[in-house]
Protein backbone atom coordinates (compact mmCIF):
# COMPACT_ATOMS: atom_id res chain seq x y z
CA UNK A 1 0.00 0.00 0.00
CA UNK A 2 1.59 3.28 -1.07
CA UNK A 3 1.83 5.94 1.59
CA UNK A 4 0.22 9.04 0.06
CA UNK A 5 -0.61 11.33 2.96
CA UNK A 6 -3.36 13.94 2.83
CA UNK A 7 -1.19 16.22 5.00
CA UNK A 8 2.31 15.54 3.65
CA UNK A 9 4.03 18.10 5.89
CA UNK A 10 2.32 17.16 9.18
CA UNK A 11 3.61 14.67 11.73
CA UNK A 12 1.45 13.20 14.49
CA UNK A 13 3.21 13.38 17.85
CA UNK A 14 2.17 10.53 20.12
CA UNK A 15 3.11 9.30 23.58
CA UNK A 16 1.69 9.25 27.09
CA UNK A 17 -1.45 11.46 27.06
CA UNK A 18 -3.77 10.34 29.85
CA UNK A 19 -3.25 13.32 32.18
CA UNK A 20 -3.03 17.09 31.58
CA UNK A 21 0.65 16.96 32.64
CA UNK A 22 1.39 14.24 30.10
CA UNK A 23 -0.42 16.18 27.37
CA UNK A 24 1.63 19.27 28.29
CA UNK A 25 4.83 17.19 27.94
CA UNK A 26 3.68 15.88 24.60
CA UNK A 27 2.84 19.41 23.45
CA UNK A 28 6.31 20.61 24.49
CA UNK A 29 7.77 17.73 22.47
CA UNK A 30 5.65 18.73 19.45
CA UNK A 31 7.12 22.24 19.75
CA UNK A 32 10.63 20.72 19.52
CA UNK A 33 9.65 18.61 16.49
CA UNK A 34 8.31 21.67 14.63
CA UNK A 35 11.29 23.73 15.74
CA UNK A 36 13.94 21.19 14.71
CA UNK A 37 12.37 19.53 11.67
CA UNK A 38 10.43 22.51 10.29
CA UNK A 39 7.24 20.44 9.91
CA UNK A 40 3.68 20.90 11.15
CA UNK A 41 2.79 18.81 14.17
CA UNK A 42 -0.49 17.55 15.60
CA UNK A 43 -0.57 16.35 19.20
CA UNK A 44 -2.37 12.98 19.10
CA UNK A 45 -4.44 12.35 22.21
CA UNK A 46 -6.69 9.60 20.89
CA UNK A 47 -6.50 6.60 18.59
CA UNK A 48 -9.01 8.18 16.19
CA UNK A 49 -6.35 9.86 14.01
CA UNK A 50 -5.95 8.36 10.56
CA UNK A 51 -2.21 7.81 10.62
CA UNK A 52 -2.13 7.27 6.87
CA UNK A 53 -3.27 10.90 6.35
CA UNK A 54 -0.02 12.22 7.82
CA UNK A 55 3.63 12.35 6.81
CA UNK A 56 4.46 10.05 9.71
CA UNK A 57 4.49 9.91 13.48
CA UNK A 58 6.91 10.87 16.22
CA UNK A 59 6.75 8.55 19.22
CA UNK A 60 7.63 10.08 22.59
CA UNK A 61 8.59 7.69 25.39
CA UNK A 62 8.56 3.89 25.05
CA UNK A 63 8.08 2.74 21.46
CA UNK A 64 7.37 -0.56 19.69
CA UNK A 65 10.41 -0.15 17.46
CA UNK A 66 13.04 1.49 19.68
CA UNK A 67 13.90 -1.50 21.84
CA UNK A 68 11.95 -0.15 24.81
CA UNK A 69 9.03 -2.52 24.24
CA UNK A 70 9.40 -4.08 27.66
CA UNK A 71 8.42 -0.83 29.32
CA UNK A 72 4.76 -0.09 29.66
CA UNK A 73 3.58 1.82 26.61
CA UNK A 74 0.72 4.24 26.43
CA UNK A 75 -2.25 2.61 24.66
CA UNK A 76 -2.79 5.56 22.28
CA UNK A 77 0.89 5.60 21.32
CA UNK A 78 0.92 1.82 20.85
CA UNK A 79 -2.12 1.82 18.56
CA UNK A 80 -0.90 4.79 16.48
CA UNK A 81 2.63 3.40 16.09
CA UNK A 82 1.22 0.01 15.07
CA UNK A 83 -1.05 1.72 12.50
CA UNK A 84 1.91 3.74 11.16
CA UNK A 85 3.98 0.57 10.76
CA UNK A 86 1.06 -1.15 9.00
CA UNK A 87 0.79 1.78 6.55
CA UNK A 88 4.59 1.97 6.18
CA UNK A 89 4.42 5.59 7.31
CA UNK A 90 7.68 6.99 8.68
CA UNK A 91 8.06 6.50 12.44
CA UNK A 92 10.50 8.66 14.38
CA UNK A 93 11.33 7.01 17.71
CA UNK A 94 13.18 8.66 20.59
CA UNK A 95 16.90 8.77 19.94
CA UNK A 96 19.50 8.24 22.66
CA UNK A 97 20.41 11.45 24.47
CA UNK A 98 24.04 10.77 23.44
CA UNK A 99 23.02 11.23 19.78
CA UNK A 100 21.91 14.82 20.37
CA UNK A 101 24.24 17.38 18.83
CA UNK A 102 24.24 21.04 17.96
CA UNK A 103 23.95 22.33 14.40
CA UNK A 104 27.46 23.18 13.15
CA UNK A 105 26.13 26.36 11.54
CA UNK A 106 23.60 27.94 13.94
CA UNK A 107 24.07 25.89 17.10
CA UNK A 108 20.45 24.70 17.39
CA UNK A 109 20.43 21.66 19.68
CA UNK A 110 19.13 18.62 17.77
CA UNK A 111 17.36 16.17 20.09
CA UNK A 112 14.65 14.63 17.88
CA UNK A 113 16.38 13.09 14.89
CA UNK A 114 19.98 14.24 14.65
CA UNK A 115 21.31 13.82 11.11
CA UNK A 116 25.02 13.78 10.28
CA UNK A 117 26.40 13.98 6.75
CA UNK A 118 29.19 11.79 5.35
CA UNK A 119 31.78 13.97 7.09
CA UNK A 120 30.13 13.58 10.49
CA UNK A 121 28.89 17.17 10.43
CA UNK A 122 25.49 18.01 11.88
CA UNK A 123 23.29 20.67 10.32
CA UNK A 124 19.72 21.57 11.23
CA UNK A 125 17.11 21.59 8.44
CA UNK A 126 17.12 25.37 8.23
CA UNK A 127 20.88 25.41 7.67
CA UNK A 128 21.07 22.46 5.27
CA UNK A 129 18.21 23.96 3.23
CA UNK A 130 15.74 21.08 3.56
CA UNK A 131 13.22 22.86 5.80
CA UNK A 132 10.09 23.62 3.79
CA UNK A 133 9.76 27.19 5.08
CA UNK A 134 6.72 29.05 6.37
CA UNK A 135 3.56 26.91 6.32
CA UNK A 136 1.46 30.01 5.64
CA UNK A 137 3.16 32.15 3.00
CA UNK A 138 5.50 29.34 1.84
CA UNK A 139 8.40 31.80 2.04
CA UNK A 140 11.68 29.88 2.30
CA UNK A 141 12.62 31.72 5.46
CA UNK A 142 13.69 30.84 8.97
CA UNK A 143 10.61 29.74 10.94
CA UNK A 144 9.45 29.37 14.52
CA UNK A 145 6.77 27.03 15.88
CA UNK A 146 3.38 28.74 16.35
CA UNK A 147 0.67 27.00 18.38
CA UNK A 148 -2.38 26.18 16.23
CA UNK A 149 -4.70 24.85 18.95
CA UNK A 150 -3.88 21.20 18.23
CA UNK A 151 -0.16 21.35 17.51
CA UNK A 152 2.40 23.67 15.92
CA UNK A 153 3.05 25.15 12.50
CA UNK A 154 6.41 26.51 11.31
CA UNK A 155 5.93 30.17 10.43
CA UNK A 156 8.16 33.04 9.37
CA UNK A 157 8.30 35.99 11.76
CA UNK A 158 5.70 38.22 9.97
CA UNK A 159 3.15 35.37 9.66
CA UNK A 160 3.86 34.24 13.25
CA UNK A 161 3.11 37.74 14.53
CA UNK A 162 -0.29 37.76 12.79
CA UNK A 163 -1.25 34.26 13.97
CA UNK A 164 -0.18 34.96 17.57
CA UNK A 165 -2.57 37.92 17.71
CA UNK A 166 -5.38 35.79 16.25
CA UNK A 167 -4.68 32.90 18.60
CA UNK A 168 -2.96 33.99 21.81
CA UNK A 169 -1.45 31.01 23.64
CA UNK A 170 1.11 30.47 26.41
CA UNK A 171 2.78 28.01 24.01
CA UNK A 172 3.82 30.83 21.69
CA UNK A 173 7.21 32.48 21.99
CA UNK A 174 7.32 36.16 22.79
CA UNK A 175 9.29 38.34 20.40
CA UNK A 176 12.12 38.67 22.92
CA UNK A 177 12.48 34.88 23.18
CA UNK A 178 13.15 34.62 19.47
CA UNK A 179 16.54 36.24 19.50
CA UNK A 180 18.70 34.01 21.81
CA UNK A 181 18.16 30.86 19.72
CA UNK A 182 19.93 32.36 16.75
CA UNK A 183 22.11 35.02 18.39
ZN1 LIG B 1 21.33 25.33 11.96
ZN1 LIG C 1 5.20 33.36 6.34
- pLDDT of 30 strictly over 70: yes
In sequence order, the 6+-apart residues with CB closer than 8 A to the CB of 44 are 12, 13, 14, 17, 57, 76, 80
- Output the CA 38–ligand 1 centroid distance in Å: 11
Closest listed ligand to the CA of 143: 2
- Output the CA 16–ligand 1 centroid distance in Å: 30
pLDDT in tens, 102-134: 999 999 999 999 999 999 999 999 899 889 899
**Hey, which residues does 109 pair with through a beta bridge?**
102
- Output the CA 80–ligand 1 centroid distance in Å: 31
Q: Are 88 and 26 in contact (CB under 8 A)?
A: no
> Domain residues of the chain, as ranges?
7-92
pLDDT in tens, 34-91: 999 999 999 999 999 999 999 999 999 888 887 665 567 889 999 999 999 999 999 9
The pLDDT assigned to 73 comes to: 80
- Output the CA 143–ligand 1 centroid distance in Å: 12
Q: Does residue 71 or residue 33 have the better pLDDT?
A: 33
Name the 3-class secondary structure at 136. coil
Residues 141, 137: Cα–Cα separation, whole Å: 10
- Output the CA 73–ligand 1 centroid distance in Å: 33
- pLDDT of 181 strictly over 50: no
The pLDDT assigned to 141 comes to: 87
Amino acid sequence: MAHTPLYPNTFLVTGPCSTPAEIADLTAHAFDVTDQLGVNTLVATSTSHLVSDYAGIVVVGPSLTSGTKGRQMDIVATVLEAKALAHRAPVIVPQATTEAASCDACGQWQTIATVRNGHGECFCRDCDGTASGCSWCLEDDETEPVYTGTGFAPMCAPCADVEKVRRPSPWNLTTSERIPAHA
